Structure 1
Amino acid sequence: DRCIVFQSYTGGFMANVHNVILAVAFVARPGNILYFDDSEHSYHCPSDTGVENHSWDVFFNGSQPTRFPTSEHVLKNCSKVNTMELLQMREELAVQAGCSSADDLSFREGEPSVRLLYAKLADATEKVWKFSSKMQYIVDYEVESIRLMAGKQLTIGIQARGGDKMSEQGDWANKITSKGHSRAFDQVKKHLPPDVHGKVVCIIVGDDYNLANSLARLATATFDCLIINRVMPSPRSISHDQGIYNSSPLQERCHGTFRILADVEMLANTNFFVGYRNSNVATMVSLIRRFIYKKNKGSEFDFSESSLKPY
């Protein structure tokens, strides 16, 4: 068997999970053993071996990737693949399908080569997105609590992503305006039954407390919905900064990772979802909604454009 190691990087946890799915889709063929070296990112808990790194199994129990070996001898003859190589593989497959780029794929699903890519992503998502027993317990508790509050009412999941994302993305951040928020909510409203006003639950998750409150006010005005705001006030000058998070104590990062996964699962379970196209949280929510819960892509909306396009 051929041994391949996919190396994590210092970015966000959902970016790393998304990249693992791409690695499983494009690299983990029959005869290949795929290991995920998660030592570079900071989303860890103490693992059952008592060390911080290589704690992927604290959160996930999927059939892929293979549990990282404790012996360096096992890895001696392994080849390596990085994130840029995976993204290039995805882009090449998109171009072969006649798309201008991988971002175009959600509008070309009828073409055979695009269906092939979606089949690979669906299979990989199903293999990776399976929780450990501890994580599953947390997710079940959080999701069930929302279901009990919502009852039979429709649910709208809303992502409040601000913090360093707004400064690092340049022109993209300039497109995230109150006008864009209003337009996205208006698009959602068009898909709601006419008699549903006042019978909707809006679930807000994310990392920006001020933005979450702003979206809560707008959602109340648009849908007259019950607001469940899971975004906590942050003592820091910006709600989420990757560098600050990476240097936080292990236990704080551990709890934060559990919460991120629970938030993503909540957004994936709602009837409608509104998020930010180039956030990996939105990308993962979209993958899980489509491939795990079989939800229609027409139930997803983007705050910066008319429809969410994670690919």
Structure 2
Amino acid sequence: MNEKKFTLEYIVEQDRILLREFLHGHGISKRTLTAVKYDGGRLLVNGTEQTVRHMLTRGDTVTVHFPPEEPSAGLVPQTGKLEIVYEDEAILIIHKPAGQGTIPSRDQPNGTVANLVAGKFEAENVPSTVHVVTRLDTDTSGLVCMAKNRHIHHLLSEQMQMTGFKRRYIAIVEGYIEKDAFTIEQPIGRKDGSIIERTVRQDGQYARTDVQVLGRFERNGEPYTSVSLKLHTGRTHQIRVHMQWLGHPLVGDDLYGGSLKLIGRQALHCAAIGFVHPLTKEPLTFTSGLPVDMERLTADSDQSK
């Protein structure tokens, strides 16, 4: 069966522009152009193969045939259940349950989202490796975004760096948070002596999290707060570290001081992601409701405030 090659077509709307400059203006990186040239791709102008030095004129049709990508050598394609929220030729949005890794690790080498996406690509003859745009910790549930081509990954990564990529999480934390809405801007770095744990430290990387209280409640006479969190940066364990620094660790997050009395994993869920589609330029938003284990924490609460 033939591979489904990834191809993009553009109509030139200006006179006398080099093909190289035209493609750069459409977000095609130098690295991608090198791959097109040397790894089996093609650049066509009005159906004729051209080099990047070709001079374009208004009305020309530019077609880019992207080369097939080699699957990652260490990623074993596997079959299994994938809860696909949205899919087209460029992107894949998946709902990940708590307990499943996004990518293989020492503790979970198989059965991750990446393994299953690799298996899906193999079965459907998609000539791409797995490109993870947004990644969730194993015990965090919710939405994950994948790109189906290195060029799409590049465009979405650029959008994320420009903060045009929106991510909203819902968490349940210990104690009552007094303010209804505020922003945490505290740098995050690796904790001394640990390869996993992060902490707020002044020599760390800039990190910003917006916090909005959704509700305050009690369980067994103890106070808790449900919060909505918006990420402006994507540091490792950012929400978990910022809430620990605030003095309100996530329920179930024993790595950062949370109790396991109510739930056996950090009560954190990626509830929404939004971005501009890299090809159609259409604004897209995807949402995911709370999983049962988090929903019952507030539903069975003694009281709400």
Q: TM-score, normalised by structure 2?
A: 0.27
Q: TM-score, normalised by structure 1?
A: 0.26
Q: Using CA pairs below 8 Å that are at least 6 residues apart, which structure has the higher relative contact order?
A: 1
Higher-Rg member (1/2): 2
- Which one has a larger percent strand, Structure 1 or Structure 2? 2
